[in-house]
C-alpha cells in the first residue's frame, strides 16, 4: 500500500449536493479497490490562476489516501471520463510527506516537536 494525495478541481457550477456526491463517489471507489481514506479536505470555491474551459473559478478538493500501486491507472481513467472534473493531480507521498501531513493535521508546530524530543 502506497500513500497518495489527490487534488481535484471540479467545475464551479456544481451544487453542494453534487459536490458531496462526487466526493463520496471517489471515496467509495478507493475503498472498493482495497484502499483507505486518510484525510479529506474540501477547500470549496477558489479562483484559478488561469482560465480552464473558459471558467475562472473551481471547487477544490484535497484527498489523502492509501491504495495499491496498480489502482491509480483505473482512478485516472475515471477522473478523465467525469465531465465535472476540470483538472486532477495524484502525487505519491514519501514517508516525510506523510509525517508532515500528520503533524500539520494535529496542529502541533515542528519547533515544538523538536524541543520536546
Other residues' Cβ atoms within 10 Å of the Cβ of residue 84: 17
Q: Number of helices (H) and strands (E) in the chain: give both, helices first.
A: 4, 4
Question: Are residues 9 and 59 in contact, defined by beta-carbon separation less than 8 angstroms?
Answer: yes
Residue 109, pLDDT score: 65
* The model's pTM: 0.82
Geometric angle at alpha carbon 77, from 34 and 14, rounded to 5°: 95
* pLDDT tens series, the chain, 117 aa: 899 999 999 999 999 999 999 999 999 999 999 999 999 999 999 999 999 999 999 999 999 999 998 998 999 999 999 999 999 999 999 988 888 888 888 877 666 555 555
Question: CATH fold of 2-116, please?
Answer: Alpha-Beta Plaits (3.30.70)
- The full set of domain ranges for the chain reads 2-116
Residue 69, pLDDT score: 86
Amino acid at each position: 500500500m502506497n500513500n497518495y494525495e489527490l487534488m481535484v478541481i471540479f467545475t464551479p457550477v456544481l451544487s453542494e449536493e453534487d459536490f458531496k456526491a462526487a466526493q463520496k463517489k471517489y471515496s467509495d471507489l478507493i475503498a472498493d479497490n482495497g484502499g483507505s481514506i486518510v484525510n479529506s479536505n474540501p477547500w470549496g470555491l477558489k479562483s484559478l490562476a488561469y482560465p480552464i474551459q473558459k471558467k475562472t473559478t473551481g471547487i477544490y478538493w484535497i484527498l489523502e489516501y492509501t491504495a495499491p500501486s496498480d489502482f491509480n491507472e483505473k482512478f485516472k481513467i475515471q477522473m478523465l471520463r467525469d465531465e465535472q472534473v476540470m483538472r486532477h493531480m495524484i502525487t505519491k507521498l514519501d514517508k516525510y510527506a506523510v509525517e508532515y501531513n500528520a503533524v500539520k493535521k494535529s496542529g502541533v508546530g515542528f519547533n515544538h516537536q523538536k524541543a520536546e524530543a
